[in-house]
Amino acid sequence: MKKIKAFFKNEKLWYPFHVLSHPADGYYEIRHREMGSVPVAILLVFIYSLCFSFNRIYSSFVVNEIDERTVNALTEMIAVFMLYFLFCVGNWSITAVMGGEGRFKDILVVVGYALLPMILTTIPAIFISQGIAANEEAFYTIIITLGTAYGLFIGLIGIMTIHNFTLGKTIITLFLTFVAMFIIIFILIMITDLVSQVYNFFYSIYLELLYRT
Amino acid sequence: MNKRIKSIVLAAILILGIMVQDLAAFATTVPYDSYNYDYWDDIVYTPAPFIPYKSFGGDDFKLDGTSIGKFSSPQDVYVAEDGVYVCDTGNKRIVKLSLDLKSCLEIIDNAGGTAFDQPYGVYVSSQNWLYIAEKTQKCVWVLDENREVQLCIKDPKSEIIGEGFDFTPLKVSVDYANRVYVVCAGKTEGILVFDSEGNFTSFFGTISVTISVWERIWRKLSTKAQRAKQVLYIPTEFTNLDVDPDGFVYTTNIDSAGTQAVMKLNPKGQDVIRLGEKGKIAGDLSIDGSGDYAGASRIVDVVYRGHGIYTVLDQKRGRVFTYDSEGNMLYIFGGLGSQEGTFNMPVAVEELGNKIIVLDAGRNELMLFNQTEYGALIDEAVGLRYDGDEAQAVEIWKKVLKLDENYELANDGIGKAYLTAGDNAQAMKYLKLAMDKKYYSIAFRRYRNEWLKKNLGGILTGLIVLIVVIVVLKNVINKKRGKSVVKEGLL
């Protein structure tokens, strides 16, 4: 209990907001003064996935092209978390060999905290969407776009800061990160396929033995 | 005791009643799915707009006491004022049936002594002349009401037609001015138009070819020898046509992309059809997949049914689609199969009263479909709207909604009526169900303005009160602090 409380200490809990206004300093302190907290980052990812689904379900149909009956918040949450971990693992595996200084938990924190602007803009955007008619969609789109753009911006700064990279190198590593993500997905699919083949092999032996007796 | 028997009897009657109801439901089960597409192009199943009524194989009809024999791959049917004309291609004859489809009135197998060889299309003009497209004799026979040859349109001559022009008429239509429109096999230039004397006037409604950017790049990259072997980009052929009372020509063509298979040509030959919200008039919208059953619908016939409503026939999946003048899909029914009421090789569609006739060249049958209440209500409401009588249409739309809650056009119609009546809240409710962003926004804007007008006073008062309270509180707090400061100072 104490430990959990320590994770969500007041200053750590509100630190993402400090990062929001001081990205470079904030991320520097996360790397070097232990100001970040992985549980807070995961909490932010959790809230973000909720916002993501809420936006798809509750945005006014003037701006929302999605059939809300097809939205499943749980599957979307699993997808968001998988993408989050996939990106973090990919980035970590690339930066580890390219001389990045960031630890895995720093990457988790950076990416998690970078979702805060999107959380903060999505919820007002949902409310605004309820009050707009056609031709006024710009209000909604601008807010969403600003949130996403700022999120990407501080994410980029964060990756740069924790690894102590230049901007060019960061962009190269980001590109390689996506390549790594694809390789990971490929390997995962291949492993599941192979495992299922092995399983089927033994299962057919089992069936054969079962029917012989 | 008596009571008990009574209750048992009552229960038995109830159970029986439920069973009978079930049986009744079973009896009306149609052999095909009827559905429509919603805003997201997903399939929504609907009640059946038409149900199979009866099919006629030809041998049911008698002329002078003898059966006329089975149809043999009939290719066309036309409903005129005095009868139903079936183009019985395999038997080399035109069969005229009575409008109630109980007897055969006439068999026409020659034009002035020349026996037909392969009559492929039939049409009856307003002056009761019979137009027959002869495929192998390469001409269009025009017979008057006494079956005398009035005209034989063949071998069109014109500057725009090259030598050795192969005139193979498949389908024919005539407008109010006795202009003759002929669909020819293998003619990509368009529909041939002849005047009432049978002289060729022009081509009509040529389909333009669209080449995608990718195809263009690909062609640029390939050598001349390769290019010669590639598929030629020629426009598709017309498959059929119908002329409405105002002289607009509805044509169908095969569109493998599934975008536009129906055109409505004005007298100048320009396409004036409205493609609707989806931007497509080509039958089925979900055409993905592989295999024979996937791909765009093969629209082979069209019939104009009045009030801007027209029905087209898909040979690929045996579906009958109905659209209104704005390009909205009204309903879909029909399907391929071997059950009664399904098709094998549908070739032509016609309207007989409020029934729909589909001619099947594979089963050699004339199939009749009865309109259900659902289909009739939709037709009526669309007709009223076409005539500008929207208020009256609303009542019908409400009845449609009782049968099919998901019907977007009904919701739209009701919503728009509420909008004109000034009931913005109700309008918003229905227009949202209809996914009509444009009109929903109009209703919403009005609603928003009304709400603001009503509540602006309250909001502003609240705001002022809030500001005053904050200012006062601040003063009080400041005073308190000031006092405490003073106190501290005193101490």
pLDDT, tens digit, 9 for 90 and up, residues A90-116: 999 999 999 888 899 999 999 999 999
B441 CB neighbours in chain A (<8 A) are 62, 133-135
C-alpha–C-alpha distance, residues A163 and B234, integer Å: 60
Based on the number of CB atoms within 10 Å of its own CB, is B257 exposed (0-12), middle (13-18) or buried (19 or more)? middle
DSSP annotation of B232 reads P
Task: Check CB contact under 8 Å for B42 and A134.
Answer: no
Task: Check CB contact under 8 Å for B445 and A133.
Answer: yes
Place of tokens 């932010």: A44
Considering only CB atoms, A134 lies closest to which of B40, B42, B437, namely: B437
Domains of chain B: 47-371 (2.120.10.30), 402-439 (no CATH)
User: Does B275 reach chain A within 8 Å, measured CB to CB?
Assistant: no
* Beta carbons of B382 and B324 less than 8 angstroms apart: yes
Considering only CB atoms, B438 lies closest to which of A61, A131, A134, namely: A134
The parts of chain B modelled with pLDDT lower than 50 are: 23-27, 491
What pLDDT is attached to residue B207? 77
pLDDT digits (tens, 9 = 90+) for A122-132: 999 999 999 88
What pLDDT is attached to residue A193? 96
Please list, in sequence order, all residues whose beta carbon lies within 8 angstroms of the beta carbon of residue B336, skipping any fewer than 6 positions away.
Answer: B317, B318, B342, B343, B344
User: Does B447 reach chain A within 8 Å, measured CB to CB?
Assistant: no
Residue A5 has pLDDT above 80, yes or no: no
Residue A57 has pLDDT above 70, yes or no: yes
What pLDDT is attached to residue B16? 62
- How many angstroms separate the CA of residue B444 from the nearest CA in chain A? 6
What pLDDT is attached to residue B395? 92
C-alpha–C-alpha distance, residues A177 and A169, integer Å: 12
Range A18-35 average pLDDT: 89
Helix (H) and strand (E) counts for chain A? 10, 0
What pLDDT is attached to residue B213? 85
Residue A12 has pLDDT above 90, yes or no: no
Please list, in sequence order, all residues whose beta carbon lies within 8 angstroms of the beta carbon of residue B375, skipping any fewer than 6 positions away.
Answer: B48, B49, B50, B331
What pLDDT is attached to residue A2? 67
Residue A136 has pLDDT above 70, yes or no: yes
Q: Longest Cα pair distance anywhere in chain A, in angstroms? A: 74
In 3-state terms, what secondary structure has residue A127? helix
Query: What pTM value is reported for the model?
Result: 0.82
Based on the number of CB atoms within 10 Å of its own CB, is B332 exposed (0-12), middle (13-18) or buried (19 or more)? buried
Categorise residue B180: left if φ over 0, alpha if ψ from -120 to 50, beta otherwise.
beta
Based on the number of CB atoms within 10 Å of its own CB, is B479 exposed (0-12), middle (13-18) or buried (19 or more)? exposed
What pLDDT is attached to residue B25? 46
Burial B208-237 (b: 16+ CB within 10 A, else e): eeeeeeeeeeeeeeeeeeeeeeeeeeeeeb
* Complete DSSP assignment for B7-27: HHHHHHHHHHHHHHHHHHHHH
Paired strand residues for B424: none
What pLDDT is attached to residue A195? 97
Bridge-based pairing of strands B66-67 and B76-79 is: unpaired
Interface test with chain B among A66, A67, A68, A129, by most B beta carbons within 10 Å: A67
pLDDT digits (tens, 9 = 90+) for A182-204: 999 999 999 999 999 999 999 99
Q: What percent of chain B has pLDDT over 70?
A: 93
A207 falls in which pLDDT band (50, 70, 90)? very high
Distances in whole angstroms, Cα of residue B241 to Cα of each of B159, B173, B192, B298:
25, 7, 12, 14
**What are the structure tokens assigned to B170, written together?**
């498949």
Based on the number of CB atoms within 10 Å of its own CB, is A93 exposed (0-12), middle (13-18) or buried (19 or more)? middle
Mean pLDDT of chain A: 91
Task: Check CB contact under 8 Å for A61 and B435.
Answer: yes
Q: Longest Cα pair distance anywhere in chain B, in angstroms? A: 134
What pLDDT is attached to residue B24? 47
Task: Check CB contact under 8 Å for A62 and B438.
Answer: no
